[in-house]
Amino acid sequence: MLALGLLWSRLWKQDFRDYLPFLCAGMVPWVLVSTVVTEGCFAFTSYESIIKSMRFSFTVLTCAVVWRNLIVFFHNLLVFVVIAVICRVPVNQNTLLVVPGLLLFFVNAVWVTALLGLICTRFRDVAPLLASMLQIALFVTPIFWAPAQLGLELATFVKLNLIYHFVDAIRSPLLGRAPGMISYEAILLATVAGWAITLALFSRFERRIAYWL
Amino acid sequence: MRTVSVELTGVTVDFAIYGSQRSFRSEFKQAAGGIIRRDGRRHRTVSVRALDGIDLRLEHGDRLALVGRNGSGKSTLLKVLAGVYAPTAGRVAVTGRVSPLFNIFPGMDPDDTGYENIVTCGMLLGMSRAEIMRKTPDIAVFSELGEFLSVPVRTYSAGMTVRLGFAIATAIDPEILLLDEGLGAGDARFADQAKARVDGLIARASVLVLASHSEELIRSLCNKAILMQSGKILRFGPVDEIMAAYHQLSETEPAPEPAALALAAG
């Protein structure tokens, strides 16, 4: 993190003290998003032996993935806290917005995990596909760079990236700034649409999961 | 104790065989390529009918043996009773707690200590925390692990792991107990104690369903039996009668050719 921070702050010709907290505040939620997606793909397939030997709740398996990532997130957050103290990141009322940001994230993480778990159990090639897409997403999403650096026209494209909104809802409060209203709107839309799709698919295919394993 | 019962009506299970079709890419190609459809190969999924219209009713005191050749549907029937496979057609109505023991250590975590695994596996088998606490001393004594219970399971020998898994699995108070080929356990000295313990477990169960090829096991544990063939119930009745029918079947009919397996397109 330190090495990346030093290198990239030079590359972007930015002040190290501004860039390092920005990078770290973005990386922590990014890691959270990417592990939920990767682990979500194996939410059911990695418990094949249990699913095939007894009736077991898929909700529990889903929540186990989300819960594990919640714990890991708070461990990673410590790194940011240390950097924030050293670089004197402002703490103000905006900082409190990290709470709704996280809550919204985890409400969505549950459907993402359940949906990916379902799809990846049926179609075994989706997991590697998503893994490589995530690698591209890391560079396309403003983690190493700020959307403002793109210029006005391209910055609109960033707003089409859902991952950006989830990252921003956590990153901005960590840096003492308020996330854009559009991020909350996008997240709420994703919450409603995501849950609707997931519940619809589960009511239809939950009975089939054991057959797909 | 509430009345325990199991009722299956017309239960049918079809397994779709996915080969390369487990991939999204091939499904996509199939959906996108109109040419393949014109070949008349649209429904390329092959499915196997593992159970075919099973009707069954079990009540308190029933000790049922499932008899039949390999691939006759015994294990699938057990898994339907366990709630693993929801039937493709038909209805399953179960009153009572089902305890499937197909595998003696589901959920065992090698990095946890023996005690921690007693809690995890116990909960997975449907015991409450209080029940587990009450039974831990008994499990500790039976598994003969002593102080080893405080160290991670990954340091155990294979025999020790089996003893622990077995001790936990047989500590439950099952209502409907499902067993596949009994429960194997450890060395010869342990086997005698294991048998006594399994007998105790079965005696506590209200209903037992056992799939087995061992006539000795069936005769000692069961009072009813079902003879299965190609996913159907061929005959239902007392153990003696069914075992006789099973032997007769084995003698008169040669084992089915692989080609004769019930493969149905669509």
Better-scored residue on pLDDT, A155 or A93: A93
pLDDT recorded at residue B38 = 40
User: Is the predicted pLDDT of residue B20 greater than 70, yes or no?
Assistant: no
User: Domain with B158 in it: what CATH number?
Assistant: 3.40.50.300
Mean pLDDT of B44-48: 71
Helix or strand (DSSP H, E) at A31: helix A16-41
Mean per-residue pLDDT over chain B, rounded: 79
Task: Judge if B112 and B90 occupy the same domain.
Answer: no
Task: Judge if B125 and B168 occupy the same domain.
Answer: yes
Q: Please give the Cα distance from A35 to A37 (Å, whole number).
A: 5
Radius of gyration of chain B (CA): 22
| pLDDT band with cut points at 50, 70 and 90 for residue A146 | confident
Min CA distance, B211 vs chain A (Å)? 15
pLDDT in tens, A10-55: 776 777 778 888 888 899 999 999 999 999 999 888 888 888 888 8
Task: Judge if B197 and B139 occupy the same domain.
Answer: yes
* Chain B hits for A210, Cβ within 8 Å: 79, 84-86
pLDDT recorded at residue B34 = 40
Task: Judge if B124 and B170 occupy the same domain.
Answer: yes
User: Is the predicted pLDDT of residue B60 greater than 60, yes or no?
Assistant: yes
Strands B63-68, B46-59: parallel, antiparallel or unpaired by DSSP? unpaired
Task: Judge if B90 and B107 occupy the same domain.
Answer: no
Q: Please give the Cα distance from A66 to A111 (Å, whole number).
A: 10
- Across A107-116, A181-190, B102-111, B229-238, least confident range: B102-111
pLDDT recorded at residue A32 = 92
Task: Judge if B201 and B125 occupy the same domain.
Answer: yes
Partner-chain residue, chosen from B16, B24, B106, that has the shortest CB–CB distance to A53 = B106
User: Is the predicted pLDDT of residue B1 greater than 70, yes or no?
Assistant: no
Mean per-residue pLDDT over chain A, rounded: 87
**Strongest mean pLDDT among A113-127, B200-214, B247-261:** A113-127
* Chain B hits for A61, Cβ within 8 Å: none
pLDDT in tens, B175-199: 888 888 766 555 556 677 777 888 8
Q: Please give the Cα distance from B34 to B36 (Å, whole number).
A: 6
- Across B16-25, B136-145, B166-175, B217-226, least confident range: B16-25
Task: Judge if B182 and B114 occupy the same domain.
Answer: yes
Q: Closest by alpha carbon to A20, among A64, A82, A99?
A: A82
Q: Domain for residue B71, yes or no?
A: no
Q: Domain for residue B76, yes or no?
A: no
| pLDDT band with cut points at 50, 70 and 90 for residue B260 | very low
Q: Domain for residue B41, yes or no?
A: yes
As to burial, measured by CB atoms within 10 angstroms (0-12 exposed, 13-18 middle, 19+ buried), residue A75 is exposed
Task: Return the domain boundaries, chain A.
Answer: 15-212
Q: Domain for residue B198, yes or no?
A: yes
Mean pLDDT of B51-71: 86
Contact: A55, B16; criterion CB under 8 Å: no
Q: Domain for residue B52, yes or no?
A: yes
Q: Domain for residue B121, yes or no?
A: yes
Kindly tell me the sign of the dihedral angle through the C-alpha atoms of A138, A139, A144, A149.
Answer: negative
Task: Judge if B20 and B109 occupy the same domain.
Answer: no
Better-scored residue on pLDDT, B23 or B151: B151
Strand order in the sheet with B224-229: B98-101, B176-180, B207-211, B63-68, B224-229, B232-237
Q: Domain for residue B78, yes or no?
A: no
Q: Please give the Cα distance from B82 to A51 (Å, whole number).
A: 11
Name the closest residue on chain B to residue A126, using Cα atoms.
B24
Domain of B197, in residue numbers: 101-205
Contact: A125, B27; criterion CB under 8 Å: no
pLDDT recorded at residue B182 = 63
* Chain B interface includes A52 (CB < 8 A): yes
Task: Judge if B193 and B235 occupy the same domain.
Answer: no
Contact: B100, A53; criterion CB under 8 Å: yes
Contact: B84, A125; criterion CB under 8 Å: no
Q: Domain for residue B256, yes or no?
A: yes
Domains in chain B, number: 2
Task: Judge if B140 and B193 occupy the same domain.
Answer: yes
pLDDT recorded at residue B232 = 85
